[in-house]
């Protein structure tokens, strides 16, 4: 009545399963002496930390820096609730956040300076729209200007690309352009998340406008110059960001709690050191110390 | 003996607790949004900075992509099922079904990648749009994702109709078209309805592929039938915003409220489906 | 030709056309994944660590992470699933309770994957304070796998003829002995088939794990149960968002091909296991 082959299979599979569990558990225990530093937040700061983590691992093999994206809001939130050791933020910490996490004592470290640049598809840039004023950009995001021809471009509808509300890049951009970091953008046609995603959508379109960190500009997505009060257009160059001429700049921050662990402090110090600052520069940002 | 009974009863209880725990967790965590907003949840403005949490654009988006997906996938899937069940040489039926099963197993994130790399570009070019991230793109992608489910289940439904009906109908010199339309479809109707409901549930709950191609804007298009503009579904909203909202806030709670709505719909659909599919039961003698 | 015959010809044509469309879609999907994936496929890609945000390097630890998640999920789900199936088949005597158990299991099956992720985020990460952990990811995947395995195991336990049980009782075995010596070995293939089907689905899931179990970079093999992992689906997600970056897109296709292959390994095994199941039940 018993099926022999099936009984055989039953026991062999069971023993293999046991073996697999054993291997799994021993693998899990073998590295127990490493220290993890958990970092999460802004996709603008992420390249710096991710690259720094790769190099840091060569010097300190027993420390692992675990990096996660999500945006500046997530960075503060996860740090404040104790899920991470370091937050990456691409805007200033708000009073509300300081207040909300008063018990953990948020502490910031500026690791670099970046610009938020209004960007357009390369086709629009080539067609002659190379600089705009703040009011012009604001009217596009408010939905008052919907065709490039109204501001000296070709007769094409503007694809207005917005960003998720919690993104640091958006908050910096909106507070300069619209005067309110949480301003709504009724003119927006798409809402995207990370710099990568926004860059892709801009490159895939031939009539888009969006906002990007300076480090994401390339041949497909061109940064606009900004005209302030009838002055000359200010190009989004590193030099202009460095000397403070370009009007939408921001500090890139790492944030910690007051109970920062020694390895995490070491890692922050590494990013502030000359080697770390070199990575900041290679990532397309301005270093904060020479 | 006692331990064994404990084990078996224990596992059953664990299974039951899991289900209940999920529902309780969702209900408890969505209560703050209901308390703070009440019926204002069913409005059109979503703006956490101003404490506005209107979920209608997301409900609209979920409905729109699902309707598009079903309108495309049900006719094609049903016709293909008629082919595999009634016209194709029965020898080929098993391999075809295996291939369909494999197709149904392609992870949704890969559909998302294909959607962003090809479909959104094609839709953009075809309709001369500024952006191919549209409600239509998401619906198209969903249609392809639910197609294997529809074909397999409709094929089963037709195949389960006893052979004698076909023989009798053929004896009356009916054409294949008439056999299918007048004999097989009426008999298999309940199972086919079940298949469509199941596919509907799948489409509503799909997250990753939709999230990557829909454009994520919390707005009902103008006019509302303009499927060539970006939109937002409940799932894409959740996928993008859940990690960003602070646990315990009204914002978070409003998202959980949407999730609860979604679960309520999909779970009732799946349960409803069970009444369509016949199920043999053997209670302990 | 009569109207009837024209209608019939049109009908057969349409059904062939529909099948042709489906076939075309199938060839396109598989073709795109395999063709693009093969371009980045080599030993180096499979066996090295990702770097430069996944745009260069390989996917070794993504593969390891994905397997780790589903293996642990299997270990967690199997005992519960088999127990629940036995309970449903051998212990429930009241039709009302039977109905309730069916409703619960189908409800679990109907919950969208993103909701599982949200549940994990609320219950484990926030309420229990586990943090982002691969073990939590496995627990959530185990919950998702549960209904499939319970149903297939139940079906195969249920299809064992009553005469087997009666004979076993007649030989003086008690209920537990009947379960261990007769029912489990006889229905083992059903459980394995269910597990394989569930695995094929679980390993490709993104939404349930992306809030609770995975990190972007910096993880190789997790050092403890409460570390995050990197996984193939979330890796593809990160890469898909930079679809105009050639190198990143290339690696996204490579990762997709590897993920699809893993899914296929599970689903083809499930298929074979089911064929064997049929064979056994026909004996």
The set of chains that have 3 or more CB pairs under 8 A with B is A, C
Say if the Cβ atoms of B114 and C271 lie within 8 Å.
no
Contacts of C224 (CB under 8 A, 6+ apart): A28, A32
Q: Which residue segments constitute the domains of chain B, with CATH numbers given?
A: 2-284 (1.10.3720.10)
Average pLDDT, chain A: 87
In this structure, of A119-128, A271-280, C200-209, C273-282, the range with the lowest mean pLDDT score is C273-282
pLDDT at B281 > cutoff 80? no
- Collect contacts of C55-59 with beta carbons under 8 A, ≥24 apart: C55/C239, C55/C242, C55/C245, C55/C247, C55/C248, C55/C251, C56/C247, C56/C251, C59/C232, C59/C235, C59/C251, C59/C254, C59/C255, C59/C258
pLDDT at A31 > cutoff 70? no
pLDDT, average across residues A258-275: 93
* CA A136 to chain CA centroid, nearest Å: 26
Q: Is B180 left (phi over 0), alpha (psi -120 to 50) or beta?
A: alpha
Name the residue facing C249 among B117, B239, B282 (closest C-beta).
Answer: B117
pLDDT at A7 > cutoff 60? no
Give residue B247's pLDDT band: very low, low, confident or very high (50, 70, 90).
Answer: confident
Q: Quick one: closest CA in C to B5, which residue?
A: C176
Say if the Cβ atoms of C224 and A69 lie within 8 Å.
no
State which H helix or E strand residue B256 sits in.
helix B250-276
Q: Quick one: closest CA in A to B124, which residue?
A: A205
CA distance A56 to chain B (A): 28
Say if the Cβ atoms of B238 and C143 lie within 8 Å.
no
pLDDT at C255 > cutoff 60? yes
In this structure, of A19-23, A220-224, C36-40, C50-54, the range with the lowest mean pLDDT score is A19-23
Helix ranges, chain A (H): 4-30, 46-59, 72-80, 95-100, 122-126, 134-142, 168-177, 195-204, 238-242, 262-272, 274-282
Say if the Cβ atoms of B131 and A190 lie within 8 Å.
yes
pLDDT, average across residues A119-123: 94
Interface residue of C131, C136, C178, C244 to substitute, partner A, most A CBs within 10 Å: C244
pLDDT at A70 > cutoff 90? no
> pLDDT, tens digit, for every residue of B189-201?
988 998 999 899 9
> pLDDT, tens digit, for every residue of B72-103?
999 999 999 999 999 999 899 888 888 888 88
In this structure, the strands spanning A86-89 and A249-256 are antiparallel
pLDDT of the residue at B260: 96
> pLDDT, tens digit, for every residue of A139-186?
999 999 999 999 999 999 999 999 988 888 999 999 999 999 999 999
What residues of C are in contact with residue A51 (Cβ under 8 Å)? 52
Give residue C225's pLDDT band: very low, low, confident or very high (50, 70, 90).
Answer: confident
CA distance B183 to chain C (A): 15
CA distance A200 to chain B (A): 10
> pLDDT, tens digit, for every residue of C189-224?
889 999 999 999 999 999 999 999 998 888 888 888
In this structure, of A254-258, B198-202, C180-184, C275-279, the range with the lowest mean pLDDT score is C275-279
Among B23-27, B220-224, C127-131, C177-181, the range of highest mean pLDDT: B23-27
pLDDT of the residue at C1: 62
CA distance A63 to chain B (A): 26
Nearest CA-CA partner of B133 in B214, B79, B228: B214
> pLDDT, tens digit, for every residue of C75-103?
999 999 999 999 998 888 888 898 888 88
Interface residue of A60, A66, A71 to substitute, partner C, most C CBs within 10 Å: A66
> pLDDT, tens digit, for every residue of B193-224?
989 998 999 999 999 999 999 999 998 998 88
pLDDT, average across residues C139-165: 92
Give the whole-angstrom CA distance, residue B235 versus residue C113: 10
pLDDT of the residue at A21: 59
pLDDT of the residue at B50: 87
- pTM attached to this predicted model: 0.91
Q: Is B194 on the interface with C (CB under 8 A)?
A: no
Structural tokens at position B202:
């799948």
> pLDDT, tens digit, for every residue of A35-69?
889 999 988 898 899 889 988 988 888 888 998 88
pLDDT of the residue at A33: 66
Give residue C185's pLDDT band: very low, low, confident or very high (50, 70, 90).
Answer: confident
- Rounded to 5 degrees, φ, ψ at A82 are 85, 10
Nearest CA-CA partner of B279 in C201, C88, C164: C88
Angle at B140 between CA B139 and CA B143, to 5 degrees: 85
Q: Which residue segments constitute the domains of chain A, with CATH numbers given?
A: 36-111+258-287 (3.40.190.10), 114-242 (3.40.190.10)
State the helix-helix crossing angle for C134-158 and B2-37, rounded to 10 degrees.
Answer: 120
Q: Which residue segments constitute the domains of chain C, with CATH numbers given?
A: 41-281 (1.10.3720.10)
Side-chain-facing half-sphere of A285: CA atoms under 13 Å:
30
In this structure, of A174-183, B270-279, C25-34, the range with the lowest mean pLDDT score is B270-279
In this structure, the strands spanning A107-121 and A221-223 are antiparallel
Nearest CA-CA partner of C141 in C198, C102, C193, C224: C198
Interface residue of B113, B116, B182 to substitute, partner C, most C CBs within 10 Å: B113
Counting DSSP H helices and E strands in chain A, the numbers are: 11, 12
Side-chain-facing half-sphere of A23: CA atoms under 13 Å:
10
Residue pair C206/B108 in contact by the 8 Å Cβ criterion: yes
Counting DSSP H helices and E strands in chain B, the numbers are: 12, 2
């Amino acid at each position: 009545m018993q099926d022999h082959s099936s009984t055989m299979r039953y026991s062999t599979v069971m023993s293999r399963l046991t073996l697999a569990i054993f291997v799994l558990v021993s693998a899990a225990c073998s590295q127990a002496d490493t220290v993890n530093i958990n970092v999460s937040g802004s996709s603008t700061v992420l390249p710096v930390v991710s690259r720094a983590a790769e190099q840091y691992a060569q010097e300190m093999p027993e420390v692992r820096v675990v990096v996660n994206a999500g945006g500046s809001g997530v960075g503060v939130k996860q740090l404040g609730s104790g899920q991470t050791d370091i937050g990456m933020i691409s805007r200033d910490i708000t009073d509300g956040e300081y207040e909300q996490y008063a018990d953990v004592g948020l502490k910031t470290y500026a690791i670099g300076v970046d610009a938020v640049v209004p960007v357009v598809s390369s086709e629009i840039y080539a067609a002659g729209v190379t600089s705009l004023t703040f009011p012009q950009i604001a009217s596009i995001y408010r939905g008052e200007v919907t065709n490039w021809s109204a501001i000296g471009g070709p007769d094409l509808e503007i694809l207005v690309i917005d960003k998720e509300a919690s993104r640091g890049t958006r908050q910096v951009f909106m507070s300069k352009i619209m005067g309110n970091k949480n301003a709504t953008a009724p003119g927006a046609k798409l809402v995207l998340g990370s710099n990568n995603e926004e860059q892709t959508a801009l490159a895939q379109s031939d009539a888009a406008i969006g906002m990007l960190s300076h480090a994401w500009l390339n041949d497909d997505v061109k940064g606009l110059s900004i005209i302030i009060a009838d002055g000359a257009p200010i190009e989004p160059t590193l030099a202009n960001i460095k000397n403070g001429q370009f009007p939408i700049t921001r500090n890139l921050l790492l944030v910690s709690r007051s109970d920062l662990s020694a390895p995490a402090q070491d890692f922050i110090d590494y990013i502030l050191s000359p080697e770390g600052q070199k990575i900041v520069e290679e990532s397309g940002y301005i270093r904060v110390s020479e | 003996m006692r331990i064994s009974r404990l084990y078996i009863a224990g596992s059953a209880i664990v299974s039951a607790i899991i289900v209940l725990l999920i529902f309780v967790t969702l209900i408890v965590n969505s209560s703050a949004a209901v308390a703070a907003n009440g019926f204002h949840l069913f409005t059109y403005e979503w703006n956490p900075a101003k404490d506005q949490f209107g979920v209608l654009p997301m409900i609209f988006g979920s409905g729109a992509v699902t309707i598009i997906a079903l309108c495309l996938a049900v006719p094609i899937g049903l016709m293909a099922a008629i082919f595999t069940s009634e016209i194709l040489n029965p020898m080929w039926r098993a391999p075809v079904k295996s291939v369909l099963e494999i197709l149904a197993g392609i992870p949704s994130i890969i559909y998302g990648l294909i959607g962003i790399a090809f479909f959104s570009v094609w839709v953009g070019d075809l309709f001369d749009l500024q952006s191919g991230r549209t409600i239509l793109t998401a619906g198209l992608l969903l249609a392809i994702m639910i197609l294997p489910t529809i074909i397999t289940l409709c094929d089963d439904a037709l195949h389960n109709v006893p052979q004698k009906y076909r023989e009798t109908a053929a004896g009356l010199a009916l054409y294949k078209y008439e056999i299918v339309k007048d004999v097989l479809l009426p008999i298999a109707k309940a199972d086919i309805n079940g298949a469509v409901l199941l596919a509907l549930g799948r489409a509503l709950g799909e997250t990753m592929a939709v999230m990557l191609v829909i454009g994520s804007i919390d707005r009902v298009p103008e006019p509302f039938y303009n499927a060539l503009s970006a939109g937002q579904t409940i799932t894409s909203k959740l996928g993008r915003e859940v990690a960003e909202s602070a646990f315990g806030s009204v914002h978070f709670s409003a998202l959980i409220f949407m999730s609860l709505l979604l679960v309520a719909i999909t779970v009732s659909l799946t349960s409803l489906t069970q009444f369509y599919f016949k199920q043999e039961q053997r209670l302990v003698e | 030709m009569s109207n009837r015959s024209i209608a019939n010809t049109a009908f057969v044509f349409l059904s062939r056309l529909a099948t042709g469309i489906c076939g075309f879609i199938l060839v396109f999907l598989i073709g795109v994944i395999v063709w693009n994936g093969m371009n980045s496929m080599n030993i180096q890609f499979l066996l090295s660590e990702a770097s430069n945000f996944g745009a260069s390097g390989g996917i070794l630890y993504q593969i390891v992470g994905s397997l780790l998640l589903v293996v642990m999920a299997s270990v967690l789900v199997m005992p519960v699933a088999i127990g629940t199936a036995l309970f449903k088949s051998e212990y429930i005597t009241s039709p009302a309770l039977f109905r309730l158990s069916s409703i619960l299991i189908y409800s679990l099956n109907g919950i969208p994957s993103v909701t599982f992720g949200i549940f994990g985020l609320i219950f484990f990460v926030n309420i229990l304070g586990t943090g982002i952990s691969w073990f939590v990811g496995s627990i959530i995947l185990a919950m998702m796998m549960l209904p499939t395995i319970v149903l297939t195991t139940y079906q195969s336990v249920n299809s064992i003829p009553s005469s087997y049980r009666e004979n076993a009782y007649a030989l003086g075995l008690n209920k537990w002995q009947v379960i261990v010596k007769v029912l489990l070995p006889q229905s083992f293939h059903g459980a394995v088939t269910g597990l394989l089907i569930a695995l094929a689905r679980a390993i490709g899931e993104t939404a349930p794990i992306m809030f609770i179990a995975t990190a972007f970079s910096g993880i190789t093999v997790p050092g403890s149960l409460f570390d995050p992992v990197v996984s193939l689906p979330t890796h593809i997600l990160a890469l898909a968002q930079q679809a105009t970056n050639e190198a990143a897109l290339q690696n996204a296709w490579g990762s997709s091909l590897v993920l699809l292959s893993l899914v296929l390994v599970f689903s083809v095994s499930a298929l074979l296991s089911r064929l064997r199941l049929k064979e056994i039940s026909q004996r």
